[in-house]
Amino acid sequence: MKENNDLAKYLFCQGTNFHAYEWLGGHSEKPSDGYSYIFRVWAPKADAIFIVGDFNGWRENMPMEKDAESGVWSYRLNTADSIEGQRYKYKVVSKTRTSMKADPYAFYNQTLTETASMIHTLGGEWHDGEWMKKRKKPFEDTEHFYPAPMNIYEVHLGSWKRKDGRYLSYRELADELSQYVKDMGYTHIELMPISEYPFDGSWGYQVCGYYSPTSRFGTPEDFKYFIDKMHGANIGVILDWVPAHFSKDEHGLIEFDGYPLYEYQDKNRMEHKNWGTRCFDVGRPEVQSFLISNALFWFREYHMDGLRIDAVASMLYLDFDRAPGEWTPNVYGDNKSLEAIAFFRKLNTAVFGEFPDALMIAEESTSWDKLTKPVYSGGLGFNFKWNMGWANDMFEYLKTDPLYRRYVHGKLTFPLVYAFSENYILPVSHDEVVHCKKSLLDKCFGPYDEKFSCMRAFLVYMMTLPGKKLLFMGSEYAPFREWNYEDQLEWFMLGYEKHSQMRDYVKALNHVYIDNRPLWDIDDGWAGFEWINPNDADGNTISYFRRSRYGEELMIVINFSPAEHRGYVLRVPSKAEYEKVFDSGIGYGVFDKKLKTKAHREDGRWVHEITCDIPSYGAVIYRKKG
């Protein structure tokens, strides 16, 4: 045990203890008689630390002992009775202050106005063996990256649904949400942060308990049930993870030992002033052990399928959201954070070394080079990136009067210029439907009916472009109101025909995506995409092919104009017959009318064309026969 303890300490201080949560925190050990609990906490500059809790009446009678080499304090509690479930904190005394701190490595914490940690041994059973095998398959392909559908439903658990004004529990959510998501045709859910946080208004992005799923919705075992239930319904689970910054609540990580510890000591790097948070010092080895262990913790202990890493740009750029004079250049004189670059490479190497089938998704808002390229080739090592440039371009296009869309037509076509430079997810996320940015429906220009038609056309564009997909909860029924974290979604809107029809439409389109291999088989190269006509700016129309490795081909035509295009001519590579499989005005199915090519000579060569009718704000998908 002493040798293991020495090794754990050494690796922790080197920034390579990726099982740090097994050593630090509070853990039960079963001796021959009674119960034994060992507590460890890192606080090198503290003058004294006491364990206080329900088990000692919150008195200062359990002083911890400091290991001077590591700065880790420890205390062993031997007791005749179990203290499982009891509350505790660390009373940290330093020259600057005395603070009551929650355990940074606790598996279970109180929430909202109550801030103690709780003694908890992780339990629960898993029944997701088949899912865990299945999720490896898309990574086994050697020709293309992730040749499988990925259609993500982003969820805020506190506001998806409520019951009599209260939160649904993890178990209630598991049973209801898993069936809804499966029926709607999504392949994954992405959970906005559920690591314990004290303030609902932060949406979970100001974390205090990195190792504990929030107790708002139940116990850690209840959360395991939630994930197990999702996997049983063939739904992957991605967790929104926040390594960029943390809450300034007194019981959290802020100046944990009385001085900057988890955060940068440099005043120019310590805080995100506009966010009101502290920034992790990812160059410090012990912080690396804390964060990388935490990422792996969610994969190991909760069978998470992926992490969406929040605010990556805020870590990579020293001048992010800082005015001149408020940031310090690196040793090369530029604005790149060398510590963050090294951290992300170390993080992704560690995660993929243990979980080669993990999804590591960067929310990164700039054009940082090689973000999703392997570390060995100079990349940061993520395997997906949110394409926020695509989202911004599209929302600008949608709000433009169709009379003037010819002048911004490039916003439809420009994303293909860089579509294969990274592995992208096309996001319509929570960030896009709050703070007066309007709901997806209300972003669309025009009167009531036209907004619905325009949104339907946009969704076809989104679902048929190269790249995986993400849609924020509620967008499927086209609400007018922006998302409000304080209340459940406006499910009553489904009582109105237009909104009910939109949800049915999204469901049908999701199944079109899943059922048609060309829409997801080759997302990483031009072999899966070819323009037919990208240049019809005057008609507000684009057309293109999507293809699979097996010769399957779809032809997509989208009209973002309120004018119908009758007799619309499309030039195709060769003689063929096409059948319509989707029409944004009708739905999903196989339609009677077939389109056949006609050939004529042009400049000494044969040219093949087909002619079709495209409704106003219409999108049609044809499948090549044979």
pLDDT at position 1 is 38
What distance in Å separates the CA atoms of residue 300 and residue 295, rounded to the nearest whole number? 9
Q: Please say whether the structural domain 2-118 has been given the CATH code 3.20.20.70.
A: no
Residue range 190-214, pLDDT digits in tens: 999 999 999 999 999 999 999 999 9
Residue 310 falls in the annotated catalytic set? yes
Set 222, 257, 281, 310: catalytic member: 310
The pLDDT tens digits for 545-599 are 999 999 999 999 999 999 999 999 999 888 889 999 999 987 666 566 678 878 7
Q: What is the pLDDT of residues 432-478, one digit of tens each?
A: 999 889 999 999 999 999 999 999 999 999 999 999 999 999 999 99
pLDDT digits (tens, 9 = 90+) for 361-413: 999 999 999 999 999 999 999 999 999 999 999 999 999 999 999 999 999 99
pLDDT band per the 50, 70, 90 thresholds, residue 2: very low
pLDDT in tens, 280-331: 999 999 999 999 999 999 999 999 999 999 999 999 999 999 999 999 999 9
Q: What is the percent of the chain with per-residue pLDDT over 90, rounded to a whole number?
A: 92
Identify the burial level of 373 via C-beta atoms within 10 angstroms of its C-beta, where 0-12 means exposed, 13-18 middle and 19 or more buried.
middle
Chain-wide mean pLDDT for the chain? 95
pLDDT in tens, 483-532: 999 999 999 999 999 999 999 999 999 999 999 999 999 999 999 999 99
What predicted TM-score, i.e. pTM, was given to this entire model?
0.96
Closest by alpha carbon to 289, among 40, 625, 583, 31?
Answer: 40
DSSP for 377-391, please give it. Answer: GTS---SEEE-HHHH
For residue 50, pLDDT beyond 90: yes
Reported as a single tens digit per residue, the pLDDT across 55-108 is: 999 999 999 999 999 999 999 999 999 999 999 999 999 999 999 999 999 999
Contact 431, 475 (CB under 8 A): no
Extract long-range pairs of 360-363: CB within 8 Å, 24+ residues apart.
360/306, 360/307, 360/309, 360/384, 361/238, 361/306, 361/307, 361/308, 361/309, 361/385, 361/386, 361/425, 362/309, 362/312, 362/386, 363/308, 363/309, 363/310, 363/311, 363/312, 363/388
Active site residue 363: yes
Surface-to-core class of residue 620, CB atoms within 10 Å of its CB (0-12 exposed, 13-18 middle, 19+ buried): buried
Strands of the sheet with 565-572, listed across from one edge: 565-572, 605-614, 598-602
Residue with token string 């660390």? 90
Helices marked H in 209-361: 220-232, 267-270, 285-302, 312-316, 338-354
Compute φ and ψ for 625, nearest 5 degrees: -85, 150
The residue written with tokens 């029924």 in the block is 477
CA angle (113, 117, 122) in 5-degree steps: 130
Which pLDDT does position 4 carry in this prediction?
79
Q: Tell me the torsion sign for CA atoms 371, 373, 376, 378.
A: negative
pLDDT tens, 592-607? Answer: 667 887 877 777 776 8
Short-list 414, 310, 324, 404, CA closest to 363: 310
Where are the chain's structural domains? Answer: 2-118, 526-624
In words, the CATH class of domain 526-624 is: mainly beta
Q: Taking residues 220-225, what's their average pLDDT?
A: 98
Q: Which long-range contacts (CB under 8 A, 24 or more apart) does 409-413 make?
A: 409/535, 409/537, 409/540, 412/461, 412/534, 412/542, 412/560, 413/531, 413/534, 413/535, 413/542
Instruction: Find out whether 201 and 159 touch, Cβ atoms under 8 Å.
Output: no
The residue from 363, 364, 431, 524 that is catalytic is 363
